[in-house]
Amino acid sequence: MFQLRECGGACLTIPYVSSFIEYPIIVSEFIYVMGALAAHVQGNLLANYYLLSVTFLAIPTFLLLREVLKIAEILGTEERRVMTYLVATPSFAFMVLLSWYSIGVYFAMFGVRKFLQGRYETSGVLFGLSAAANLITAAPALGLVLAARHWRDRSGFMLTAALAYGAINLPFVGLNPSLWLSFWSFHSNWYIEGSWMLAFLSSFSPLRHYIFPVLLLLLFAAIAAVTLRKEQRDPLTLSWLATFAVLFSTYVFTPQMNLIILPFFALVPIAKRYWEFLAFDVINTLFIVLGFSQILLPFGITYHFDVSSYLAPVRWLAIIRSIWLGKFLVFDGLIPLETKRGSITPAATTQAVATPRD
């Protein structure tokens, strides 16, 4: 994929300056640096690129785990739960050192922690970096906008997020605005992938461009209506509700996006039964293995499953996974929250917000 889709085998042109890569700035430049380093190492280019990427992606991966454990400490969540719902999962094992999403997820979880500690401007900067890395990984910020207790906190959070995102992107906009704009046009023309919409629509149905914003606005309005009436609002709850709402609404819900929701399963009792969470994650892993990866290739075993066919099992794994996420959002999130009286802020979170710590 690296040779065919990202660098074309050259690895010598800077993304958004001289060439186009389909990922946001931070990840695109990471890909370029890994490719440039690989080109100067003796041996196979693709193998060198892979080994270098795995090595350097270990850094945000371990930092991500560190941040989730720190949030768990603030909330009084057992460390064992983090290991069970985040590390010891099929999705984490298959994606952890192979997915650039770990960069954006790390910034997002760091941002959540700083928000819990009352460091709203710092949190905003980190979410700006998250958006500049993977865009979708910054989805929790939508919930944190609602969680901010005062307009000054909210505006500070939003302003610093915008400034951080702009600081990363503006130099590339100035150097080659057409290439930067091509990122948005490229993704707006992307087909339906991994979404429940595949059950009803063709992959390139124009309805996908209308369903996404309308459904997201309706879900966000429902989240706001349920939570704004509460005396106090839990930032973590609002973070995962907003993230799930974005992923359920969008017509592109790839399996690697599970990296942004696994930390929330680890920190919040979203799934009432562990077997349900595990089954959900196994389906995501099967989606990876059967639809995107040939993990048995080192043993000389190749296979191919036609994702485009309406009756393809892989297609329906994606549909079930997307609908299941919606079930978590509505039946395990919004409905119980609606029936709960008073505050939705755990005591540990309230204390953490009131007493910032590094």
Measuring CA to CA, which residue among 106, 104, 118, 40 is closest to residue 74?
A: 118
pLDDT of residue 353: 43
User: How far are the Cα atoms of 3, 204, 297, 317 from residue 304, in angstroms, in the given order?
Assistant: 20, 22, 11, 15
Alpha helices (H) along the chain: 25-39, 45-75, 79-82, 90-95, 101-116, 120-134, 140-147, 151-175, 177-188, 208-227, 235-249, 258-267, 274-291, 313-329, 335-339, 347-354
Amino acid sitting at position 119: R
The gap from C-alpha 122 to its chain's centroid, in whole angstroms, comes to: 20
State the Cα–Cα distance between residues 233 and 246, nearest whole angstrom: 20
**Tokens representing residue 269 in the block:** 């009792």
pLDDT of residue 284: 92
For the chain (358 residues), the mean pLDDT of every run of 10, in chain order, is 46 81 92 86 81 90 96 94 93 79 97 96 98 97 93 96 98 94 93 95 95 97 88 89 98 93 96 94 87 60 65 86 97 88 47 43
State the Cα–Cα distance between residues 204 and 175, nearest whole angstrom: 32
Cβ atoms of 219 and 213 within 8 Å: the answer is: no
Question: Looking at residue 193, what DSSP letter applies?
Answer: B
Instruction: Indicate the pTM of the whole model.
Output: 0.90
Query: At CA 22, angle to CA 163 and CA 324, rounded to 5?
Result: 90
**R_g of the chain, CA atoms, integer Å:** 20
Q: Is 252 helix (H, G, I), strand (E, B) or coil?
A: strand
**Tokens representing residue 194 in the block:** 């991994």
